Amino acid sequence: MNTNEKYDFVKNSLQKKYSFFAGILTTCEEMLDATWKNELVSDLERMFGAVEGQEFAKALDGYVEFSIDAAKNQQYYLKHDHYKSSNFSEVKKELYDNEEHMLGNYLPGMLVSHYIWPHHYKMGKRYRNEIMPWVKKKNPSLFVEVGTGSAMYSKLTMLALETINGIGYDISPHSVTFGKRVAEAFGFSNRFKFVQQDAFQNPPKDKADFVVSQEVLEHLEDPLTFCKNLCNILKDDGCAYITAAITAAHSDHIYLFKSPKELSSMLEEAGFRSVLEIEEASIDTRVPEKTPRIAGHLLVKA
Ligand SMILES: C[S@@+](CC[C@H](N)C(=O)[O-])C[C@H]1O[C@@H](n2cnc3c(N)ncnc32)[C@H](O)[C@@H]1O
């Protein structure tokens, strides 16, 4: 099969099993650029094997679960004006430490969402096109990511910065397992180490040139302290990329950012200065003021 045939196979699989979730691919075809389809097919096959195989089908199941989780929790948020979860330890026990949830649907689902949710895809593209060239000019040698999750941003960073070495921290053993698979699949495992721990309990002894924390802040009870800690592990002349989901619910989202301004103020209070801000919104704008969004900042120390 060529790329177009493989893509059609994926679309038909989704259509047959989950027709409610297949329409978004038509939207992607209309909204996204010509390279998107190739990336979807080649990256996801690299990770999950051939499009007609079982592992690929399971990843699509994971994506659907991930999307249902988001929709159910967004409905809760719209009704109650706060996210359903509020306790980090409970979320950790029920979700991050739950192998079936993490490896069965959450992590593959989140990875697939970076290729199917237009705002996720566009943030990744802008990271490659707008953030990476700026960071590359500074010739960084040590990259630290906190909260690697599906390792999408570990992968984007390691592939864009061909000589950098990296360490990725995640409190979930399953995120670490999944991240190692991503690193093997995309050929950067010799330059990147995944570590299962809270990065700030035993912080890296060498300060980083480049720090990334992508869609982690909304998972925390105290994101301000977390941002201050991110600032502390960064060299004085280093730079960071930090994002958060805004008015976007999920079963593991705890901290509600009601606007991009709340995020930028928090980053400033933590000791950062924003060099560039990027933001993308979900295509689902049914409740305009509560449209799920992601805001991200390229930062230096203030
Ligand atoms: C939504 S994922 C991050 C998204 C990821 N950057 C991606 O692109 O897929 C959130 C991750 O943060 C991790 N996490 C939550 N709190 C953490 C903490 N205090 N330290 C490190 N990792 C944490 C969770 O285990 C989970 O894997």
Output the CA 102–ligand 1 centroid distance in Å. 11
Q: What pLDDT is stored for residue 298 in this prediction?
A: 98
3-state SS, 194-222, equals EEECCCCCCCCCCCEEEEEECCCHHHCCC
Q: What is the pLDDT of residue 3?
A: 95
| Domains held by the chain: number | 2
Based on the domain organization, do 167 and 256 belong to the same domain? yes
What's residue 34's pLDDT?
87
Q: What are the C-alpha distances in Å from 54 to residues 137, 298, 300?
A: 42, 39, 44
Both 99 and 175 in a single domain? no
- Residue from 61, 50, 56 nearest 5 by CA: 50
End position of a domain, from candidates 87, 116, 145: 116
Does the pTM of the predicted model rise above 0.95? Answer: yes
Q: Is 251 in the pocket of ligand 1 (CB under 6 A)?
A: no
Give the pLDDT score at 42. Answer: 97
Do 202 and 108 sit in the same domain of this protein?
no
Low-confidence ranges of the chain (pLDDT < 70): none
One-letter amino acid of 49: G
Judge if 264 and 142 occupy the same domain.
yes
d(CA 102, CA 117): 19
Atom of ligand 1 nearest to the CA of 175: 27
CATH of the domain at 285: 3.40.50.150
Cα 98 to ligand 1 centroid, rounded to whole Å? 14
Q: Distance from the CA of 255 to the center of ligand 1, in angstroms?
A: 13
Question: Of 116, 136, 160, at which residue does a domain stop?
Answer: 116
- pLDDT reported for residue 203: 80
Give residue 201's pLDDT.
Answer: 85
Same domain, 102 and 150: no
Q: Which of 216, 224, 253 to mutate to test the pocket of ligand 1 (most atoms within 8 A of CB)?
A: 216
Q: Which residue, among 211, 213, 200, 209, has the nearest Cα to 263 in the 3D structure? A: 213
The residue out of 100, 116, 132 marking a domain boundary is 116
Q: Which domain holds residue 291?
A: 118-301
pLDDT of res. 15: 96
Asked if 78 and 200 sit in the same domain, the reply is no
Cα-to-centroid distance, 13 and ligand 1 (Å): 30
Question: Does residue 176 share a domain with residue 63?
Answer: no
Report pLDDT for 191. Answer: 97
CA distances from 103 to 114, 149, 174, 203 (A): 16, 11, 6, 26
> 120 — phi, psi (to 5°)?
-65, -45
